[in-house]
Amino acid sequence: MTHHITVEMVNRFGELARIVNLISGRGFNIEKLLIDASDRPDISVAKLSLAGDKSKVEVLVKQIKRQVRVTEARILNESEVESDNFFSAARLNK
């Protein structure tokens, strides 16, 4: 099953690498990825989709959230995915 995740982190070199490293080190393939600045200049937001067992993805997201400069990490619910331009556009393109 594909899960859609958002991660907010400090906007600085190396932060995305730590997260991608964590995800790939557990054998998850990132199917979609977008990273951009947020409303706050010091925080960037990553949106990513990956397939995997739900309980394993839940553990993964907690481990992402544990990273020192990650301010938020969570799995989006169905309606949030629908109303998110990136994820819904990604779905249409499939």
Partner 1 sequence: MPASIEIEQQKSGARLFCESLVNEGVDTIFGYPGGAVLHIYDELVNFKDSMTHILARHEQGAVHMAEGYAKATGRVGVALVTSGPGATNTVTGLANAYMDSTPLVVVSGQVPTHLIGTDGFQEIDIVGITRSCTKYNYLVQSAEEIPEIMREAFYIAASGRPGPVLIDIPKDLTAQKAAGNLPEKLNIPGYEPHSYSREDLVENAVEKILAARSPIFYVGGGIIHSGGTAELVELVERLSVPVTITLMGLSCFPSAHPNSLGMLGMHGTYAANMAISEADLIVAIGVRFDDRVTGNLKKFAPNAEIIHVDIDESSIDKNVKTHISLIGNAKDVMRQMLDSLSKRSAPARERLGAWWETIDAWKRYAPLSYEPHPDIIRPQFLCEEISRLTDGEAIISTDVGQHQMWLAQYYRFKHPRYFLTSGGLGTMGYGFPAALGAKIAYPHRQVIAFVGDGGFQMTMQELATAVQYRANLKVIVMNNGFLGMVRQWQEVFYNNNYSEVDMQIQPDFVKLAESFGAVGLRADHPAKLGQVLEEGFATDNVVVFDIVVSQEENVYPMVPPGAGLKEMILR
- Residues forming contacts to partner 1 in the complex (CB under 8 A) are 8-10, 13-14, 17-18, 21-22, 25, 42-43, 58-59, 62-63, 65-72
- The C-alpha atoms of residue 40 and residue 78 are separated, in whole angstroms, by 26
- Residue closer to partner 1 by CB (options 41, 93) is 41
Minimum distance, C-beta of residue 33 to partner 1, in the bound complex (Å): 17
Give the sheet arrangement for strand 2-10, strand by strand: 30-37, 43-51, 2-10, 70-75
- Residue closer to partner 1 by CB (options 68, 92) is 68
Cβ atoms 8, 73 nearer than 8 A? yes
